[in-house]
Amino acid sequence: MTGVRKKGGWATEDWLQAIAAELEAASTTAAVEAVRVAWLGRRGRITEALRGLGALPVEARREAGQRLNRLREAAEAQIKARLQVLKAQEEAETLAAERLDMSWPGRRPPVGRLHPVTRVRRLVEDIFLRMGFAMVDGPEVESLWYNFEALNMPEHHPARDMQDSFFVNLPGMVLRTQTSPMQIRAMEAAGGRLPVRIIATGRVYRRDDDATHVPMFTQMEALVIDRGIGMADLKGTLLAMSRALFGPETAIRLRPSYFPFTEPSAEVDVTCAVCGGRGCRTCKDTGWLEILGAGMVHPVVLQNGGYDPEAVSGFAFGLGLERVAMIRYGFDDLRLLYQNDWRFLAQFGRGEDGM
């Protein structure tokens, strides 16, 4: 039994053995701490024994005091040794449990991609910003005046039938069928100043739905007005744009056409980017792909924008960005752009236009 008083002293050997056994059994640092408290804490057995020394006769007190202090030192040493072993063990366990192989490849977070129309839009806008055009923006719900009348398409003008409009529940308003109303808005904003040199990109709406037409699509309108602007300026601008978009070998051709807001008017083709002009399925063996409508701004339109057709002239064109995307990336169903099929969209790169 520990703590028994042997003749003339304390059973320090027994105590030391008891402590050793308890420490051996303690398998965590917390258990070791419990052992320490039981023996050396404020109410610990050794502490109590030391406190009890005062009751002994002087002779015995000295001898017992020395023994108890040696015992205390021995106990402290044992505790410290045991703690060291356990701490090392616990550390090893933690390291094993939290093992991290730094040679593993990192996780690649899924990165979003720009929609092909967004990429084409940025590309074209960049081309024109570098040519000194300003970028303007306008409403998708547009008045009949801006969308038709001001553009030389009065109410019973047959040209209105060219575009089946979406009307909205507001008298005199439509979802704009073209970005051309931005020509009038830009002229009004310029207030007669020269030159006017703008592009306006945005959504337009028509009652159309097949492989080459969707009810909502994206146009970019361009308008230049100054003194002495001619067809050559239009042609040069379009050639520069086409080469920047489809490659330096690209050629363009202008076919006479009709738009109410331009005179003369042209439809513009570029050499087919798929076959390089030799003829293929995409260009229906013609070697050419139509990309836009263009022309010299009609005098009536200039007037409606507040400019004098006797003093200034201008050109305008309207480019369909979905078509540009089709030609540039080489796919043949426009609807793919708006079906949100990840397998289609994931084929386009990440921003910098590599393709």
- Candidates 279, 284, 270, 278; CA nearest to 327 is 270
Our CB check for ligand DAH shows the closer of 33 and 263 to be: 263
Q: How far is the CB of 176 from ligand DAH (least distance, A)?
A: 10
- Candidates 332, 333, 329; CA nearest to 346 is 329
Under a CB-based contact definition with an 8 Å cutoff, are residues 184 and 305 in contact?
yes
Q: How far is the CB of 214 from ligand DAH (least distance, A)?
A: 14
Write out the residues near ligand DAH by the rule CB under 6 A.
178, 180, 221, 259, 262, 293-295, 316-318
Our CB check for ligand DAH shows the closer of 44 and 195 to be: 195
Alpha carbon distance 254, 257 (integer Å): 9
Please, what sign has the CA dihedral across residues 209, 213, 218, 223? negative
Q: How far is the CB of 295 from ligand DAH (least distance, A)?
A: 4
- For residue 294, with 0-12 CB atoms within 10 Å meaning exposed, 13-18 middle and 19 or more buried, which class applies? buried
Alpha carbon distance 210, 78 (integer Å): 88
Q: How far is the CB of 321 from ligand DAH (least distance, A)?
A: 12
Our CB check for ligand DAH shows the closer of 260 and 277 to be: 260
Our CB check for ligand DAH shows the closer of 76 and 290 to be: 290
- Candidates 203, 205, 24, 221; CA nearest to 135 is 221
- For residue 105, with 0-12 CB atoms within 10 Å meaning exposed, 13-18 middle and 19 or more buried, which class applies? exposed
Q: How far is the CB of 150 from ligand DAH (least distance, A)?
A: 13
Q: How far is the CB of 102 from ligand DAH (least distance, A)?
A: 58
Alpha carbon distance 11, 68 (integer Å): 10
Our CB check for ligand DAH shows the closer of 71 and 229 to be: 229
Our CB check for ligand DAH shows the closer of 259 and 348 to be: 259
Q: How far is the CB of 275 from ligand DAH (least distance, A)?
A: 26
Alpha carbon distance 322, 334 (integer Å): 7
- For residue 94, with 0-12 CB atoms within 10 Å meaning exposed, 13-18 middle and 19 or more buried, which class applies? exposed
Whose tokens are 């236009």? That residue is 353
Under a CB-based contact definition with an 8 Å cutoff, are residues 261 and 178 in contact?
no
Q: How far is the CB of 251 from ligand DAH (least distance, A)?
A: 20
- Alpha helix positions (H), the chain: 12-25, 29-40, 45-52, 58-97, 116-130, 144-147, 181-190, 231-246, 299-304, 321-329, 342-345
Our CB check for ligand DAH shows the closer of 238 and 245 to be: 238
Our CB check for ligand DAH shows the closer of 71 and 325 to be: 325
